[in-house]
Amino acid sequence: MQEKVYRIVMLIDDNEIDNLINQKMIEAANITETIYTHTGAKSAIEFLKNIEKLDFADKVLPDVIFLDIDMPLMDGFQFLVEFEKLGNLAKKKCKIVMLTSSINPQDLSRSKKFPNVKLYLNKPLSNDSLLKLEV
Q: In sequence order, what DSSP letters do the residues of the chain get, joined into one string?
A: -PPP-EEEEEEE-S-HHHHHHHHHHHHHHT-EEEEEEES-HHHHHHHHHHHHTSTTHHHHS-SEEEE-S--SSS-HHHHHHHHTTS-HHHHHH-EEEEEES---HHHHHHHTTSTTEEEEEESSP-HHHHHT---
Q: Report pLDDT for 39.
A: 97
In a domain, 19, yes or no: yes
In a domain, 45, yes or no: yes
Query: Which residues form the domain of 62?
Result: 6-131
Query: Which residues are within 8 A (CB) of 17 and not within 5 positions of it... i.e. 6 or more apart?
Result: none
> What's the CATH number where 42 sits?
3.40.50.2300
In a domain, 107, yes or no: yes
In a domain, 103, yes or no: yes
Q: Report pLDDT for 115.
A: 96
Q: Report pLDDT for 83.
A: 98
Q: Report pLDDT for 2.
A: 56
In a domain, 39, yes or no: yes
Q: Report pLDDT for 1.
A: 45
In a domain, 1, yes or no: no
In a domain, 109, yes or no: yes
In a domain, 90, yes or no: yes
**Mind listing the pLDDT tens digit of every residue in the chain (135 residues)?**
456 899 999 999 999 999 999 999 999 999 999 999 999 999 999 999 999 999 999 999 999 999 999 999 999 999 999 999 999 999 999 999 999 998 899 999 999 999 999 999 999 899 999 988 888
Please state, in angstroms and rounded to a whole number, the distance separating the CA atoms of residues 45 and 80.
Answer: 9
User: Per the structure, how many domains does the chain have?
Assistant: 1
